[in-house]
Structure 1
Amino acid sequence: MTEDRPASPYQPEELVRQDGVGVPDPFMRLWTPHRMAYIEGENKPTSAEAGSGCPFCRLPSQPDADALIVHRGEAAYAVLNLYPYNPGHLMVVPYRHVADYTELSGAEVADVATLTQQAMQAVRTVSGAHGFNIGMNQGEIAGAGIAAHLHQHVVPRWAGDTNFMPAIAHTKVLPQLLSDTRALLAKSWP
């Protein structure tokens, strides 16, 4: 261990050495370069128009495994969030390109509700989620990343799932690949 810093039980000496990369410090780093795509707005629509520029319009034309679609309903589909808050975070998306919940037809509202219930059942079967955060961000000002195409988030929660990583390090540790999560949920869909 270097003389200017005490040994840490959480960080072996070989991980602390940072020769040539700046001033050594006691922090470990979890590199998540895939998050740069989200931060830089990659694949984010440049207009509010429907069509191939909207990922939620484009996804249903792809194979389920490639698009991370877990289940297809009559008027909506369930898809894993490409940038999840928690493992199993998925979204229920109407096929029709509408921005506001009040624009949905009765059949679309019913399908979004049914798929949300089924998503909760599938996630509980696969992972034993203790609870869920379910909701929509209506409009860019309300936090919608893709405001032009309505989507409802279904975020599984577990006791103690908010630990020091997201609270202090602004980092979420996801223990499973999205393709593996998609396969488990699709297999367990009611």
Structure 2
Amino acid sequence: MEHVLGKTPKTQGCIFDPPGTATHDKHSLLLYRDQWTVVLLNRFPYANGHLLVAPIRHLADLPELSLQEQGKLMHMVTQCCTILRATFAPDGLNVGLNLGQTAGAGIADHLHFHIVPRWDGDHNFMTVCAEIRTIPQHIDNTFDTLLPHFLKMQV
């Protein structure tokens, strides 16, 4: 509602570079950060549990990633899929990334994967006709539900 009412402050800088060095931060929707990757809850989700996974380095395209970064990024995407399946029991997952503004990237200069849990029949007439999304859980509750799984990944 804060966004709808225009009360959400504009984000300064890149959302994939939350301030500080903490591995998690509810205010930034940061579920996990290490030296290679960052995992955020999407502030404007398509479905409950919609995650964003990005490399730490600000890169716009896949060929810019080192082989080590590619491996770490895909490993984190895989771990996120496992966590979402264990937590929300979706019937499927959409995993993808949009490279470039024309391809639909809202943040084109920092590549990131979207991981969207999906359930049978989860798109109703509101989404199709009015481009309105209904999310069954407040984002703060979703964060609290997912965080313990990400805390277990920390060394």
**Once the 2 structures are TM-superposed, how far is the Cα of residue 61 of structure 1 from its aligned partner?**
4.3
Aligned counterpart, 1:144 = 105
Partner deviation per Cα, 1:69-107 (whole Å, 9 max, x = no partner): 122244002110111010000010111111111111112
Asked whether the 8 Å contact 1:100–1:150 carries over to 2, the reply is yes
**Once the 2 structures are TM-superposed, how far is the Cα of residue 121 of structure 1 from its aligned partner?**
1.1
Larger Rg: 1
Secondary structure at 1:65's aligned position in 2?
Answer: coil
Aligned counterpart, 2:13 = 53
Q: Tell me which amino acid in the other structure corresponds to 1:106.
A: L
Q: Tell me which amino acid in the other structure corresponds to 1:56.
A: F
Asked whether the 8 Å contact 1:73–1:115 carries over to 2, the reply is no
Is 1:108–2:69 an aligned residue pair?
Answer: yes
Over 3 Å counting, the alpha-carbon distance change for 1:58 and 1:91 in structure 2 is same
Secondary structure at 2:109's aligned position in 1?
Answer: coil
Is 1:79–2:79 an aligned residue pair?
Answer: no
Measure the CA separation in 2 of the matches of 1:67 and 1:33: 15
Is 1:125–2:92 an aligned residue pair?
Answer: no
Is 1:155–2:124 an aligned residue pair?
Answer: no
**Once the 2 structures are TM-superposed, how far is the Cα of residue 35 of structure 1 from its aligned partner?**
4.2
Over 3 Å counting, the alpha-carbon distance change for 1:60 and 1:97 in structure 2 is farther
Q: Tell me which amino acid in the other structure corresponds to 2:78.
A: Q
Aligned counterpart, 2:149 = 188
> Aligned match of 2:3 in 34, 49, 62?
34
Q: Tell me which amino acid in the other structure corresponds to 1:184.
A: T
Q: Tell me which amino acid in the other structure corresponds to 1:140.
A: Q
**TM-score (normalised: structure 2):** 0.85
User: Relative to structure 2, which stretch is displaced further, 119-128 or 55-64?
Assistant: 55-64
Measure the CA separation in 2 of the matches of 1:85 and 1:131: 14
Measure the CA separation in 1 of the matches of 2:18 and 2:82: 27
What is the alpha-carbon root mean square deviation over aligned residues? 2.3
Aligned counterpart, 1:164 = 125
Secondary structure at 1:154's aligned position in 2?
Answer: strand
**Once the 2 structures are TM-superposed, how far is the Cα of residue 36 of structure 1 from its aligned partner?**
6.7
Asked whether the 8 Å contact 1:69–1:78 carries over to 2, the reply is yes
Asked whether the 8 Å contact 1:70–1:183 carries over to 2, the reply is no
Partner deviation per Cα, 1:32-75 (whole Å, 9 max, x = no partner): 562476xxxx43xxxxxxxx622222356465222111222440
Q: Tell me which amino acid in the other structure corresponds to 1:119.
A: C
Is 1:173–2:134 an aligned residue pair?
Answer: yes
Aligned residues between the structures: 149
In structure 2, runs of 5+ residues without a counterpart are none
Identical positions, percent: 37
